[in-house]
A and B are shown apart, each in its own frame.
Chain A
Amino acid sequence: MAKLKGLKCRECGRQYPATPVHVCEFCFGPLEVDYQYEALKGVVTRESIAAGPPSMWRYKDLLPIEGEVAVGHHVGFTPLIRAQNLAEELDCKEVWIKNDSVCHPTWSFKDRVVAVAVTKAREFGFDTVACASTGNLANSVAAHAAEGRLKSYIFIPADLEQGKVLGTLVYNPTLVAVHGTYDEVNRLCSEIADKYRWAFVNVNFRPYYSEGSKSFGYEIAEQLGWRTPQHIIVPCAGGSLITKIWKALKELKTLGLIDGPVKTKMHAAQALGCGPIVTMIKNDSDVLRPVRPNTIAKSLAIGNPADGYYAYKVAKESGGHGEHATDEEIIEGMLLLARTEGIFTETAGGVTVAVTKKLIETGVIPRGESVVISITGNGLKTPDALYERLEAHVKIKPSLSAFDRALADLKNQAS
């Protein structure tokens, strides 16, 4: 089954064969994978998907992989949880958590995109993969390269805290710490991607890499019994995820896998300290103004997002909105999710929870409608965000009487 048409420029529509290129040679617009949907109709069915593995690869026919899956066989198909406690706190009827904080193997949705990119790199015959990252992406590229026996180069700013790189170093990549400003490191990585014949996952492999995010959207629909929710709240960094979830829902509709029209409103969630996409949505302007990030939500701190314009368009096209969360609201969001549902998410999850709360309180999301909150990373990776907020409630000497007194004090405080 020839399912891939090739690549297509998102700006001028010019078509390219499916090769490791990412920018249109004519207008410099970004390229995207284009499929032969007619060939997929009737071949990809609810039954064929259900017969697949309990991972993102049950949707392999809808991903840009033509050979066998090379790495990340167990990525995805993460829980979609009916969050009854959180729903009560938010006073909203139907709240779901799509929980990629437990995505195998590195606890973030980046495993989805990297599994596709590294598999595609093997398919194209590359022996080296690379990325520039300060967190989740670095973890995932290093892990999947190790599994695929590929060489990997991970570029990080030299001033990144040691604690953040351990989760990458453990997989034995070549870690390159670059001294310089963010802009200088960013520019160097772009030049390296241009010069070396490596699979730089989020640069020259971006068209394939980003398609992995669609599996997040497919899973939401399948796990809801082949229906789409009325609202999905998506954290935005580079802006790709929200566009790919939307693409996934529309593909399912095109293939006849979901009943009725797709009426899901796609809402963008960003930190106030780095929210250029939400600013576009709020101002109803298609002009993205780059910002200097200043937020605790480091995994969303992309000041000049590549897919910002397309993220804005998805929010508008779907009838969705966008909202910012302050650092304080982000922490409150993390704590709220933890104490109501027992899920410890990273700051990006705090952003989506906080933004959901705001959108419900302001009436943008009616209280009787269904909401899926995207949780894309695990809090155990970046506990520093909470250090100053949390401490042991009770400190006692090792005696039963000391505990009795402390317990009495606690009960008095509570009453």
Chain B
Amino acid sequence: MTRTRVRLTFPSNLIQEPILYHLVKDFDIVINIRRADVKEDYGWVALEMEAGEDTLARGVKWLKDKGVQVDPIERDVIA
């Protein structure tokens, strides 16, 4: 099992969609939300995801395809 810490940023069109529900149900990824800020037109969630490496990769790809920005918890580390 692989565990990773990420920060998900949601654009306004996805705020009302059950994205995390599908991430858990469709990909069988264990999530653990640590901090979040969701507003009417924008939101972010800092969470831990745990699953097999391939499953995590598929889950992250699905999130990106949906339009969710997926960043490391540190955000931009290239300086």
Give me the interface of A with B, judged by CB distance under 8 Å: 11, 22-23, 26-29, 110, 131-134, 136-137, 155, 157, 182-183, 185-187, 189-191, 193, 200, 202-203, 206, 237-238, 287, 289-290, 302-306
Interface core residue of B9, B46, B71, B75 (most chain A CB under 10 Å): B75
Q: B34 — nearest CB in chain A belongs to which residue?
A: A28
A287 to B74, CA, bound (A): 17
Q: B32 — nearest CB in chain A belongs to which residue?
A: A28
A202 touches B34 (CB 8 A): no
Which of A22, A27, A133, A191 meets B78, CB within 8 Å?
A: A133
Which of A22, A29, A136 meets B35, CB within 8 Å?
A: A29
Q: B72 — nearest CB in chain A belongs to which residue?
A: A190
- B40 to nearest A CB, angstroms? 11
Which of B4, B42, B76 meets A305, CB within 8 Å?
A: B76
B42 touches A28 (CB 8 A): no
A287 touches B37 (CB 8 A): yes
Which of A11, A22, A157 meets B74, CB within 8 Å?
A: A22
User: With contacts A28-B5, A202-B79, A290-B9 known, is A190 near B74, CB below 8 A?
Assistant: yes
B79 touches A28 (CB 8 A): no
Q: A189 — nearest CB in chain B belongs to which residue?
A: B77
B77 touches A190 (CB 8 A): yes
- Is B69 interfacial (CB-CB < 8 Å)? yes
B79 touches A137 (CB 8 A): yes
A84 to B69, CA, bound (A): 47
User: With contacts A11-B35, A23-B73, A287-B39 known, is A182 near B46, CB below 8 A?
Assistant: no
Q: How large is the interface on B (under 10, 10 to 19, 20 to 34, 35 or more residues)?
A: 20 to 34
User: With contacts A287-B42, A290-B9 known, is A131 near B79, CB below 8 A?
Assistant: yes
Give me the interface of B with A, judged by CB distance under 8 Å: 4-5, 9, 34-35, 37, 39, 42, 46, 48, 69, 71-79
B9 touches A27 (CB 8 A): no
Sample of 5 more A-B contacts, CB < 8 Å, known A23-B74, A134-B78, A306-B76? A157-B78, A200-B77, A203-B77, A305-B76, A306-B74
What are the residues of chain A within 8 A of B42 when measuring CB–CB? Answer: 287, 289
What are the residues of chain B within 8 A of A131 when measuring CB–CB? Answer: 79
A290 touches B69 (CB 8 A): yes
What are the residues of chain A within 8 A of B46 when measuring CB–CB? Answer: 27-28
A26 to B73, CA, bound (A): 13
- B37 to nearest A CB, angstroms? 7
- A162 to nearest B CB, angstroms? 18
A306 touches B75 (CB 8 A): yes
A182 touches B78 (CB 8 A): yes
A286 to B37, CA, bound (A): 11
A27 touches B69 (CB 8 A): no
B78 touches A189 (CB 8 A): yes
What are the residues of chain A within 8 A of B78 when measuring CB–CB? Answer: 132-134, 155, 157, 182, 185-186, 189, 302
User: With contacts A11-B35, A28-B46, A287-B39 known, is A23 near B77, CB below 8 A?
Assistant: no
A200 to B72, CA, bound (A): 15
Q: A135 — nearest CB in chain B belongs to which residue?
A: B79
A379 to B35, CA, bound (A): 41
Q: B41 — nearest CB in chain A belongs to which residue?
A: A287
A304 touches B34 (CB 8 A): no
A24 to B11, CA, bound (A): 26
- Sampled A-B contacts (27; CB under 8 Å): A22-B74, A23-B73, A28-B35, A28-B46, A132-B78, A136-B79, A155-B78, A182-B78, A185-B78, A186-B76, A187-B71, A190-B73, A190-B74, A200-B77, A202-B77, A203-B77, A238-B79, A287-B42, A289-B42, A290-B71, A302-B76, A302-B78, A302-B79, A304-B9, A305-B76, A306-B74, A306-B75
- B11 to nearest A CB, angstroms? 9
Q: B11 — nearest CB in chain A belongs to which residue?
A: A289
A287 to B9, CA, bound (A): 11
